[in-house]
Each structure stands twice: as C-alpha cells, then as structure tokens.
Amino acid sequence: MSSRHSDARSAPAGTYDLASKNFVAESVTEDPDEFADFCRAFAMSVRPGGPLVASFMENMPTYRIGVASRWPGCPVDRAIVRRVFAPYTERLRDIRIDADPTVPDYGDTGMVLMRAVRTRQSLPTGRGTAP
C-alpha cells in the first residue's frame, strides 16, 4: 500500500481497489454541483465493482471545529447522497444517525453513512472526473 497527498478531485478514474471518504465533500464547498462533482470523482476513482464507504454530516450549514476552525458547508441528506451516487454505483445502502446531543451543536441533524460498489458499466466522464 502507498499513500499520496493530492486533490481528491484529481484522483485518476478506475485506479483504486476501494475508497473511503469521511466528512469531506460536504465540507469543502457550498455549491451543490461541486459537491456532486466531488462525489463523482470519489466514486469513479475505484475500479468497476470496487467498494465505496463514505460518511457525511447531515444538513450541516457550515463545518466548524471549535471557534477558530471554519469550513464551507453544503447541507446534504440521504436523498441527496443517494441521488448523487446513483449514476455511478450499485448496491447502495445508507443509514442515518441522529446528532449526538453531548457534542457542540453545529446545526447538523446527524450523519449519513453509505456503502456501495462502483457500477461495472462504462459512464461518460465529466467535470470533476479524471479521464
């Protein structure tokens, strides 16, 4: 196994045996289209049939850690996650869990967790997807 530090949107398509992503796509943009592009690049980075695992803060308006760390926020829910991944995946399963009342309230309503495998059929490339 090797590791590489780079922009996830530039990950070459069909390269990895599996991919995981936690709290990134919904916390690097406020633009739903850019969120979708990020998720597409993530899904397409694995080989056809490769497994994907991802988690998302649910309905989080902005991503903050304490008072000093502030990130963009793109509020998402189960329906949005399913819609964004549907064209590139099969066997998608998702669940949500409620917000933890013991941690600071950042406006989210919980988390969405999903797993899927990349569809085996060829798909056209597009913005955010490596050739």
Q: What residues make contact with ligand SAM under the rule CB under 6 A?
A: 7-9, 22-24, 27-28, 63, 71
20 vs 125, which CB is nearer to ligand SAM? Answer: 20
12 vs 49, which CB is nearer to ligand SAM? Answer: 12
Q: Measured at CB, which residue is nearest to ligand SAM?
A: 8
Q: Which two tokens stand for residue 131?
A: 């050739």
Shortest distance, CB of residue 121 to ligand SAM, whole angstroms? 26
16 vs 23, which CB is nearer to ligand SAM? Answer: 23
Cα separation, 48 vs 46, whole angstroms = 6
Residues near 58 by beta carbon (within 8 Å), at least 6 away in sequence: 76, 77, 78, 96, 99, 108, 109, 110, 111, 112
